[in-house]
Structure 1
Amino acid sequence: MKLQKGWKLLSTAALVAVLAVTGCSQSAAPAKTGEGTAPAAQPTGDAGGQADATARLKLNLKTEPPSLDPPKGFDSTSNEVLNATMEGLARLDKDHKPQPAMAEKWSVSEDGKTYTFTLRDSKWSNGDPVTAQDFEFAFKRIVDPNNAFPSAFLAYYIEGAEEYNKGTGTADGVKVKAVDEKTLEVHLKAPAGFFLHILTQPTFFPVNKKVVESNPKWAENASSIVTNGPFKMEDWVHDQSVKLVKNDGYWDRDSVKYAGIDWVMVNDENTQYQMYSTGQLDMIQTVPNDLKKKLIDSGEAKVESEAAIYYYRMNTEMPPFNNVNIRKAFALAIDRQTLIDNVVQGKQAPALAHVPFGFPEPEGGDFREKGGDFIKDNDIEQAKALLKKGMEEEGWTTLPPVTMTYNTSDAHKAIAQVLQEMYKKNLGVDVKLENKEWKVFLDEQRARKLQFSRSTIPADYGDPVNYLELFVTDHPGNRINYSNKEYDALVEKIRNTANETERFKLMHDAEKIFMEDMPLVPIYFSTKVFMDQPNVKGIIRHPVGTLDYKWVEIGKK
C-alpha cells in the first residue's frame, strides 16, 4: 500500500518524535537516567494579541463523561476532562514526547525493567500533598479484580499486575512500591521502551488514597472530586455542562495562561457548528458532513493525521457472525473509498488491515506500509461467494437478523446508513440500524451484548501491540468474544520479546492471524478534522494521546 501524504508526515515526524523517546526500537530505548523539569509555557504562537488571563475556553464535550475516576472512564470523553483536571508522572509535550510532570525526574535500570521516579512537591485540590503512596495505591487499584476497570490491561507490563487482576496473584505481588513520600519504584516484567508513554494515559493518573477510601462515590460530583492537574472542578451539571477553574495550587500554574474551561454537552453537529460560528464555542472537533469538504478546501477546517481506526465489531458468538466466511463477506462488501469521498470527507485512508499507519519499524519504514493490505476494497463477487459458503456451512437458507448499533451522532448515523445500503445492494442483506446514547452504548458493548457495533480505536500508547492485545481471549477491550489460542500465545510472546526486530515480526504474524479470522469490519484509518477560533492557540492534538488544553492562550478580541 502506498503511504498517503498525511500519514507520511505522522510516521516520519510526530510518531518518530514519540517513539524516539518512548522506545520503538532497542536503540531508541529510554536513557538509563532521565531527569529534568517539566516544560514551562511552550511556544504556542501568536494568540491574536496579548493573552487574556481572565478568558475561559469554551468547548463542547457532546455527552456526559461516563466516569471521571481515571481507570474507570477509559473513553475519549472522560479522558478529555481528566487530562485537564489531573496529571500523572509524565505528560506529553507539544512534540508528543513524555516530559516530567508529577515526577520531576526518573531513572531506568540497566536491564530496562526498573523505573525509579522522584516526585516533585505538589498538592491535591483539597490541600493534601501528592505522595508516592498515592501513586502506589492508584496503580494497584487499576488492577484490583474487585474494580473490574476496563483499562486494567494497560498495567499488565508491571510485574504481578496481570496475575492480581486475573485472580491468581495478590496486591503485594504487584511490583509498585512507594520507597518514601517522594520516591516511587515500578518494576516491569519485561523491558517496554514505550512505558513512559503509557504513563501519560489518564488510567495512570494518581488518586488521593485518603479520599477514595473514605468515599466510594468521590468521582461522581464536583463537590467531592479531588484532583491535581492544571485545572480543578468548579461545577458539573450532569448531562449539561462541566466547568473548570485554573488550579492555583498546581506546580506549573505559571504555564496556564487563562482562567478556566466551560464545556457544554451538545450532541448535534449542526447546532455545534452554529455555536462555533457565533462565537459560543472556541473549538469544535467535528464539522457537519454537508459542509466538511468546503470548510477543509477553504482552510477554515484543519485536518491532522491520527493513529486510529474506525470499524465495526462483529460479535463472534452471535449468529451470523459466528461464521468466519460470513464475517469476511461483510468486510469485503463495502466500498470504503466511496464512503470516504462522499460521506466521511476527511482525507482518511481506506482500512484494509487492523493496525493503522503511524508506527515506525525499528529498521525504518512504517508498520502498516510493511504489513500491506489483507483484503480488497469493494470485492463484491468474493463477498457474495463467501456469504453463500458461510450460509451453507451453517445450514441457513435465510440469514439471521443483523443489527448495526452506533452511538448517537450525525456522523455515525450517516456512515451506518450508507453501510446499510451497501449491504442491501451488494449482499442482498437487510440490516437494521439502532443508535444508543454514549454511556449506554459503551456499557452494552463492553458487556458483549451488541451484535454488530461501531468503534474507533485511537492508540493508547505508541506501539502496534496496543491494537493486537485488545483481542486476546477475555481481554476487556475484546467486547466481541473473539478467541484464538494461537493468537493469544503470540501476543504473550510479543509482550516478552526484547529484541525489537523480532518483536515487530511477531506483531505482523499476529495481525495476519487476526485478519484471517476477521472479527471486525475495518472501514478507515482516521484523521482529525477540527476548527479553532483565530484568537485561540496552543490546543495540542497528539497523534497518540489525549487532547491537551494546558498550554492554550486566548487572545484578547
Structure 2
Amino acid sequence: MKFKSIAKLGVVAFAATMVLAACGKSSDKTSRTDSLNWMSNTTLTTLDPSKAVDVTSDQVLYNAMRGLVTPDKGNKIDLAIAKSYKITNGGKTYTFTLRNTKWSNGKKVTAGDFEYGIKRSADPKTASQMAYYMANIMNYDKVKTGSMSADKLGVKAMGDNKLQITLTKPQADFLNVLALPVFYPQQKSYVEKYGTAYGTTSDKMVYDGPFAVTNWKGSNDAWTLSKNNDYYDNHNVKLKTINYSVIKDPQTALDEYQSGKLDQTLLAGKQQVNSYKNNKDFVNHKQFMVQYLSINQKKVPALKNKNLRKALSLAINREELTQNVLGDGSFAARGLVPDTLAYMNGKDFNDYATVKDATTGDMTKAKQLWAKGLKEIGKKSVSISIMNNNDQTSRAVTEFLQTELDKLPGLKVTAQILPNNVASGRSLKSDYELSVSGWDPSISDPISPLQTKVSTSPINTSKWGNSMYDMYIDRSNNEDANNKDKRFFDLVNAQKVILNDQGIIPLIQKAQPELMKTNIHGVKYLGNGPVWDFSHAYIK
C-alpha cells in the first residue's frame, strides 16, 4: 500500500467495481479550439501550496502556479520563474536569478515571495506534511522542532530578483525537490488577509502560473483553469480554459466522453481497456507507481533464508498477473525504481539496475530453490499470510499470488484482505508477514523509492537491512552528491543489492490508460506529481 502521509495519492485509483464498458462510437475530436473539458476522479482539497499532499491538488497548483523550476519527463527539470542559477560553496549554496513576471493580481513576483512561501511551509505552525523535503536546508532541523524561528531558515531574498538557498550539505536531487508546491512563492498579503481560509476557495488565492483557478467554492466537484494573462510565458499558452469535473464512477465518465461532454477520460480495469485498446483515442501512460511484496523476516524467521525468498519471487508469473489478472496496461516491475523515472546516457535506470532472476518467474527453478531452502532451515513446511487492501483489484492480485505461491511444495498461504486504513496501519507497525506494498515517488529521482529501504528509515516497515545497501545510499547522499555519474551508479548498485538479496519481490508498475480526443496536442504527461501540464496544450 501507499503511505498517504509521505507519498502522493495515486491519481488513477478508481473504485475497482465496474461494469463492462459500453462500446458505442465516440467522437474522436473536440469541436472547441481553446477550451478542454477534463475529468478527475478525486476532489480538489486545497490550493494552499504549503498544505497540498494529494495528486489532484498538485495537478491544479502546478498549472496555476510556478516555482523556481518545473519537472520534465524522467529526472529532468526546466527553469520556470528562475531564469538562471548557480551552485557554489561545494554544492551547498544555490543562487537563483528570477524572471520578470507578475501575480494574477498584477503585482510583481519577487524573491521575497519565494522566501516567505518557503519559510511559511517550513514553519511547524503551518503543519505542512511535505516540509520534510526541506531537511537539508540550513537550520531546518531546529525550525521543525520549534527551537528556532522559521525566519532563520537558510533562504534569503537578495533584492527583488535574486534568491539564495543554503544547504547543510550537497543534495544532488535538490533541483528536482524545488519543483514541489512547498517551495512555491506565496504572497504574504494574501496569506495574512485570509488567514485559515487562505487557499480554501479559488478566490482566496493568487496565482503566478499559466492559469488561474476559478469557480471552486471549496467543496464543489468542479472548477476551471482560466488563462492567466500576467504569466511570463502567456503568449505560448493557447488554451483559454480547462473545465474540470469530478467523476468517481468510471462508467459515468466513459458515457460523458462518448457523448462529447468530456475530451478525456481515465479507463479503469481490464474490461474497459480491452474494449478500447484499439480505439484511436486510446493512450496508455507509464506511472511511477511500483508495487512489490514486502517481506517481514522478523515475523516469518524462515524467510531469513535467501533461497526461500528467491523461490517466492520465481514462483510468480508476472505476465499472467499483468495481462490476465489486471489487463489494464500495468507491466512487470524491473525493480524498486520505476521505469522512465531516470536515465543516464539515453538508457533507463533499470537497464543498468535490474536483476532478471529477482524480477521474473520460473516455477521449475522456484521449486528447486524452495526445496533447497527448506533443507537448509531444517523444515518441511512453512506457513505465510499475504496482506492487502480489500478493493476488488487488490483482492484479485492477492488471490492470484496465493494461487501461485501455493504451488511450492510445503508452503501454505493465507490471504489477509483488510480495509485500506487497517492494512496501512498494520503496515506502518510492521504487523504483517508478506504485504503488497507500493511507492509513488513525489520527485523524479531514484533516491525517492530507494531511500525507503535504508535500514534506519522509519518507513522501512519490513526492517530489511543490508550494510552494502546503506553504504551505497549514504555515498550517493554525501561523498558522491556532487558527481552526477558516480551518484547514479551508487543508486544502481543499491538497487542491485536489494534485488540480489531479494529484500523485496517486485510485482508490477502501474499504468494509466485513458481516452483523449485525437486533435488535442501538447499535453505533457508526467508520471507523478502534477501528472498533466497544459501550458503548451492546443487543439488542432
> Structure 1 CA distance, aligned partners of 2:511 and 2:179?
22
The alignment's TM-score, normalised by the length of structure 2, stands at 0.75
Deviations 1:505-548 (A, max 9, x none): 32233224444675644212344433211332221113566321
Pair 1:552-2:533 in alignment? no
Assess, with a 3 A threshold, how the Cα gap between structure 1 residues 379 and 349 changes in structure 2: closer, same or farther: same
Under a length normalisation based on structure 1, what TM-score does the superposition of the two structures give? 0.73
Mapping 1:113-512, distance limit 5 Å: 113-125=92-104, 129-145=108-124, 149-161=128-140, 164-165=143-144, 171=150, 174-192=153-171, 194-212=173-191, 215-229=195-209, 230-236=211-217, 238=219, 240-293=221-274, 295-305=276-286, 308-312=288-292, 314=294, 316=296, 319=299, 324=304, 331-345=313-327, 348-358=330-340, 365-373=347-355, 375-379=358-362, 399=383, 402-405=386-389, 414-416=396-398, 418-419=400-401, 421-422=403-404, 427-436=411-420, 452-458=435-441, 460-461=443-444, 463-472=445-454, 478=459, 480=461, 482=463, 484=465, 486=467, 487-488=469-470, 490-496=472-478, 497=480, 498-512=482-496
Q: Deviations over 1:458-501 (max 9, x none)?
A: 5612x32232123446757x373646483455423211212334
1:185: how far off?
Answer: 0.9
Residue 537 (structure 1) aligns with: 521
Is the alpha carbon distance of 1:177 and 1:446 closer, same or farther for their aligned partners in structure 2, counting shifts above 3 Å? farther
Q: Given residue 339 of structure 1, which amino acid in structure 2 is its aligned partner?
A: L
- Give the Cα separation in 2 of the matches to 1:93 and 1:364: 15
Decide whether aligned partners of structure 1 residues 329 and 538 sit closer, same or farther in structure 2, where only a CA change above 3 A counts.
Answer: same
Q: Distance in 2 between matches of 1:167 and 1:422?
A: 51
The structure-2 alpha-carbon separation of the partners of 1:239 and 1:337, relative to structure 1 and needing over 3 Å to count, comes to farther
Task: Decide whether the 8 Å contact of 1:142 with 1:152 is kept in 2.
Answer: yes
The 2-side partners of 1:168 and 1:474 are apart by: 25
Pick closer, same or farther for the CA change 1:512–1:164 going to 2, 3 Å: farther
Preserved contact between residue 235 and residue 244 of structure 1 (Cα < 8 Å): no
Q: Describe the superposition over 1:61-120 as per-residue Cα deviations: whole angstroms up to 9, x where unpaired.
A: 111245443354333333212212221112356899644322344344485443322333
Kept in 2: contact 1:311–1:520 (CA 8 A): no
Task: Give, in whole Å, the separation in 2 of the partners of 1:464 and 1:505.
Answer: 11
* Distance (whole Å) between structure 2 residues aligned to residue 428 and residue 95 of structure 1: 41
Q: How does 1:14-53 map to 2 (within 5 A)?
A: 52-53=33-34
Whether the 8 Å contact between 1:445 and 1:479 is mirrored in structure 2 is: no
Write the letter of the residue equivalent to 1:182.
N
Change (3 A) 1:369 1:338: same
Q: CA deviation at 1:244?
A: 3.3
Q: 1:388, 1:239 → 2: CA distance? A: 59
Contact 1:142 1:155 in 2 (8 A): no
| Counterpart-to-counterpart distance in 1, 2:344 and 2:452 | 22
Match of 1:40 in 2: none
Q: Deviations over 1:221-276 (max 9, x none)?
A: 33434433222232246373333333344333333333322222223333322222
Q: Give the aligned partner of residue 44 of structure 1.
A: none
CA–CA distance in structure 2, aligned partners of residues 301 and 320 of structure 1: 44
For the structure 1 residues 378 and 67, does the alpha-carbon distance in structure 2 shift closer, same or farther, using more than 3 Å as the test? farther
Query: Which 4+ residue blocks in structure 1 deviate beyond 6 angstroms?
Result: 47-51, 93-96, 166-170, 326-329, 381-390, 392-398, 440-443
Asked whether the equivalents of residues 314 and 365 of structure 2 are also in contact (C-alpha less than 8 Å), the reply is yes
**What is the aligned residue count?**
499
Q: CA deviation at 1:338?
A: 0.8
Comparing 109-118 and 132-141, the one that deviates more:
109-118
SS in 2 for 1:73: coil
What is the letter of the counterpart of residue 292 of structure 1? V
C-alpha distance in structure 1 between counterparts of 2:205 and 2:436, whole Å: 33
Contact 2:39 2:246 (8 Å CA) reproduced: yes
The CA deviation at 1:434 is 3.9
Q: Kindly tell me: are residues 105 and 379 of structure 1, through their superposed partners in 2, closer, same or farther at Cα, counting changes over 3 Å?
A: same
RMSD: 4.4
Letter in 2 for 1:429: V
CA contact (8 A) 1:402 1:432 kept: yes
1:61 aligns with 2:40: yes
Q: What SS does structure 2 have at the residue aligned with 1:117? A: strand
How far is 1:58 from its partner?
Answer: 1.6
Secondary structure of 2:358's counterpart equals: coil
Residue-by-residue CA offset, 1:268-302 (whole Å, 9 max, x unaligned): 33332222222222112435422424533444312
Q: Go from structure 1 to structure 2 and tell me whether the alpha carbon gap of 1:415 and 1:62 turns closer, same or farther (over 3 Å shift).
A: farther
Note the residue ranges of structure 1 that are not aligned, 5 or more in a row: 1-46
CA distance in 1, matches of 2:403, 2:204: 48
Instruction: Write the deviation string for residues 415-453 of structure 1: whole angstroms up to 9, x where unpaired.
Output: 4554455456665422133454xxx69985996688535
Describe the SS at the equivalent of 2:487: helix
Aligned match of 2:4: none
Letter in 2 for 1:341: Q
